[in-house]
Amino acid sequence: MLRFHIDYFKGEGNAQPKPGDTISQRAVVEAILAKHDAATNARRFNAVLATATINHAIEYHRLFTEIQKKRLAQDETFQPISTNHSINEFDLYYQDVQQRIKDHKYSNADYPRQNKIDVMIVVDMLLTGFDSKYINTLYVDKNLKHHGLIQAFSRTNRILNDTKPYGNVLDFRQQQEAVNEAIALFSGSDINRAKEIWLVDAAPIVIRKLCTAVTDLQNFMQSQGLPCTPQEASNLKGDDARGQFINLFKEVQRLKTQLDQYTDLSEDQSASINKVLPEDTLRAFKGLYLETAQRLKEKQDKNRAEDNDKIQELDFEFVLFASSVIDYDYRHRFE
């Protein structure tokens, strides 16, 4: 199973909620709308909003409808989340929800997004006994503890591929102490060891790893007598050099994908990431990666590199790059 990234959302202003308390439901909805695209990797995954009571769930649905209607009136490019169902036939309704969750495996080009589902507002259902690789985010406005907490969090961490590096949890009730108790209980370790087992690295650590990965790529390009730019990387000579580029840039993209789904990055952290690897530069490198990887993959498939073990051992991770903005549907060319 994947580890978890947990964002303990505190809201705005100096008055911070106490553990177990919640901010207003309107503020929760505003926060979800602000963070949902990042949390779900541009809506490639589903999310669950766990709330305390049926009345709260009904109010959340009303607020999502109201707030998104206003946003759509102000910005016609805004894409609302959530959908409506009838529960007159409960079994059919439940089956429909499950199917919409699973249908997230298809690209929007192959299966329209209105037939899928973005957020499931739940009280108890779907928090236990339901597994989907396409759920990666849990929004929590409900007090949880021990087994129930781990069960709820575990809706998000079923392994899929590198586009889903961890399970995302956005907690609106400041339950850090309850989380620490639960993971220590279920790991049988001291709290520091338990955090290593259950939780992903904090953003500053991953940012440092990204800086190191970019430096490794720069040093390699320099060793080839080339500046570290997408234009110059296309001038790499020989399959060995191209294979090294594949491995080095794949690590850069893996770390960037991980950071892209952190919902608690500060403005300074986002700026430092962009300084290390500007978005335009990253996009150009992705395009070059895909071209180079496809060329080497064809050689692998035709056994033209059978006497070159390094090329035969390359793992191109096309799905990781298919998740990028450059071309969401690119992956279908390699399946």
Under a CB-based contact definition with an 8 Å cutoff, are residues 38 and 32 in contact?
no
How do the domains of the chain map onto residue ranges? 4-198, 203-333
Residue 162 half-sphere exposure toward CB, CA atoms < 13 A:
18
User: Residue 179: pLDDT above 90?
Assistant: yes
* pLDDT of 15: 60
In this structure, the chain runs to a length of 335
User: Residue 88: pLDDT above 70?
Assistant: no
Give how far Cα 79 sits from Cα of 75, 99, 138, Å: 9, 21, 20
User: Residue 260: pLDDT above 90?
Assistant: yes
Segment 204-224 shows an average pLDDT of 97
- The string of DSSP codes covering 54-92 is HHHHHHHHHHHHHHHHHHHHH-TT----------SSHHH
pLDDT per position as a tens digit, 45-81: 999 999 999 999 999 999 999 999 999 999 988 888 8
Segment 30-42 shows an average pLDDT of 94
Alpha-helical regions (H) of 261-278: 267-276
Nearest to 229 by CA among 207, 245, 253, 206: 245
Token pair for 64: 């999502």
Would residue 261 be called left, alpha or beta, if left means φ above 0 and alpha means ψ between -120 and 50 degrees?
alpha
Give how far Cα 92 sits from Cα of 62, 87, 95, 96, Å: 23, 8, 5, 6
- Kindly report the CATH class assigned to 4-198: alpha beta
Lowest mean pLDDT among 73-82, 101-110, 123-132, 183-192: 101-110
Over its C-alpha atoms, the chain yields an Rg (Å, rounded) of 22
pLDDT per position as a tens digit, 265-308: 999 999 999 999 999 999 999 989 888 888 888 877 776 545 55
Higher pLDDT, 141 or 97: 141
Under a CB-based contact definition with an 8 Å cutoff, are residues 146 and 182 in contact?
yes
What is the average pLDDT value for the chain, to the nearest integer? Answer: 85
* pLDDT of 304: 56
The model's confidence at residue 327, banded by pLDDT at 50, 70 and 90, is very low
pLDDT per position as a tens digit, 225-257: 999 999 998 899 998 999 999 999 999 999 999
